[in-house]
Structure 1
Amino acid sequence: MNPAVTPHQQIRATHDAETVRVYQAFSDEIADAALARGTFVSPPFKMERMTWIKPSFLWMMYRAGWGLKDEGQRRILAIDITREGFDWALTNSCPSHPGEAMGKEDWAKVKDASPVRIQWDPERDLFLQPMGYRTIQIGLGKDAVRRYVSQWIRRISEVTPLAHEIHNLVRQGRLLEAKEKLPVERPLS
């Protein structure tokens, strides 16, 4: 995408009419249990903690260091969730930080009433450097996590080998080949 024509904030994801793909990185224990059951299993997954989902593959690579950052993020999962669930999360969200237009007290009230947090961070390129536009991260609180795990997830697949393959191509300077391997992410309308 050309940053000159890409909106400053835009949700881009691999999606179809019924599902939206998001990414998360986990330890072996959590990833193995999720892949075996087709959803997250508690334990080892912690239902009471906020969990962050990311529609951007490259932002997930930045966050997890291509799955090489640490043991807790070594396995990268692609989670296809219902479009209805994704839309519910956006509708029931608030910013993760108070903006300039909202005071901290007002934001605290909105935050307490919202089961989901939204954060916009710089999108990343193949070198994991920030780009001139932002991508969304969605933090699911307790009620939203319950919905995510029990209602929204349609499919979980592992993309760690793909992450390592793309990373190796980037390290070898084979950028065109690396780019061709990236998941196709289109604006969500």
Structure 2
Amino acid sequence: MSTTPTQPEPTPSPIPYKQIRALFDSQTITLYQAYNPTIATAAVTTQKLNASPLFKTTRMTWIKPSWAWMLYRSGYSHKDPNQSRILALRINHSDFLWLLSQGVVSHRNPADKEREGGKRLTGIRIQWDPERDVKMEKLGYRSIQIGIPGGEICEKWLGMIIRIEDVTDKARELKRVIDGRPGVTVEELKEMGLVPEERVFEVEDEEVRGRLGMDWPDGDISTE
């Protein structure tokens, strides 16, 4: 009588399922977004993200603290002409925490969704998407994305940005090195300056953690 071999249980990740990891210093944190060349050039030149008339303050824009997730979303800047320039946007810790405090997760705790009657969400949106490594492999934990809606909140967000840097060349060089050296390690890429040293950005406010669903059980989310 044949038996079906049992599959080994996956090794739990030592990294919490929902955790914010980012490049930051004592005062500022770096977020990423990709734009077309016209918007990006004007933004870097003037240090104002909305310097180009092509930038629409009426549209939702998604910002990310994860370098790897930005690379995945934009295909290292090669995926879409409208995302062919990657910008690093630096803001103060206090402003970042304000954005988090105003956010509501797109995939809500089932109890919250039932209590709210399944109504559509407005304002700042929070998504927890599967994190990637810089070689685009999916990891066993999540990465935060913050959706900034159009209108007044977008204007407030634009005023938070204190520095804009074009990091497209870094993304493309990273892709070139990975393609040419498949066995290259993350530590080697860090030494080359192609992968930032992202650390855990702690969110200590329990109310904000609850709004973001950071302490929900793994996978305890409901699709809109």
Answer with 1 or 2: which has the greater Rg.
2
What do you get for the CA RMSD once the two structures are aligned? Answer: 2.0
Residue matched to 1:137? 145
Structure 1 residue runs of 4 or more that deviate by more than 3 Å after TM superposition: 107-110
- Kindly state the Cα deviation for residue 40 of structure 1 after the two structures are TM-superposed: 1.3
- Kindly state the Cα deviation for residue 123 of structure 1 after the two structures are TM-superposed: 1.0
Structure with more of its chain in helix, by fraction:
1
1:27 to 33, 36, 58: 36
Consecutive unaligned residues of structure 1, counting only runs of 5 or more, are none
2:112, 2:30 → 1: CA distance? Answer: 31
The answer to whether the Cα contact below 8 Å between 2:39 and 2:54 also exists between their aligned partners in 1 is yes
1:121 to 123, 129, 140: 129
- Kindly state the Cα deviation for residue 103 of structure 1 after the two structures are TM-superposed: 2.8
Go from structure 1 to structure 2 and tell me whether the alpha carbon gap of 1:96 and 1:27 turns closer, same or farther (over 3 Å shift). same
The answer to whether the Cα contact below 8 Å between 2:190 and 2:197 also exists between their aligned partners in 1 is no
Structure with more of its chain in strand, by fraction:
1
1:169 matches 2:145 = no
Structure-1-length-normalised TM-score: 0.90
After superposing the two structures, state which structure 1 stretch, 79-88 or 166-175, moved more.
166-175
Structure-2-length-normalised TM-score: 0.77
Structure 2: which amino acid aligns with 1:188?
F
Aligned length: 185
- Kindly state the Cα deviation for residue 105 of structure 1 after the two structures are TM-superposed: 7.5
The answer to whether the Cα contact below 8 Å between 2:13 and 2:141 also exists between their aligned partners in 1 is no
Consecutive unaligned residues of structure 2, counting only runs of 5 or more, are 1-10, 203-224
- Kindly state the Cα deviation for residue 170 of structure 1 after the two structures are TM-superposed: 0.9
- Kindly state the Cα deviation for residue 154 of structure 1 after the two structures are TM-superposed: 0.9
2:199 to 166, 186, 189: 186
After superposing the two structures, state which structure 1 stretch, 36-45 or 6-15, moved more.
36-45
The answer to whether the Cα contact below 8 Å between 1:50 and 1:139 also exists between their aligned partners in 2 is yes
1:132, 1:93 → 2: CA distance? Answer: 24
1:146 matches 2:155 = yes
- Kindly state the Cα deviation for residue 101 of structure 1 after the two structures are TM-superposed: 2.1
Deviations 1:113-154 (A, max 9, x none): xx210000111012212100111000011332111112x101
- Please state whether the residue corresponding to 2:53 is helix, strand or coil: coil
2:65 to 48, 55, 65: 55
- Please state whether the residue corresponding to 2:49 is helix, strand or coil: coil
Residue matched to 1:77? 87
Go from structure 1 to structure 2 and tell me whether the alpha carbon gap of 1:107 and 1:84 turns closer, same or farther (over 3 Å shift). farther
Structure 2: which amino acid aligns with 1:10?
Q
Go from structure 1 to structure 2 and tell me whether the alpha carbon gap of 1:3 and 1:161 turns closer, same or farther (over 3 Å shift). farther
1:62, 1:107 → 2: CA distance? Answer: 34
After superposing the two structures, state which structure 1 stretch, 166-175 or 65-74, moved more.
166-175
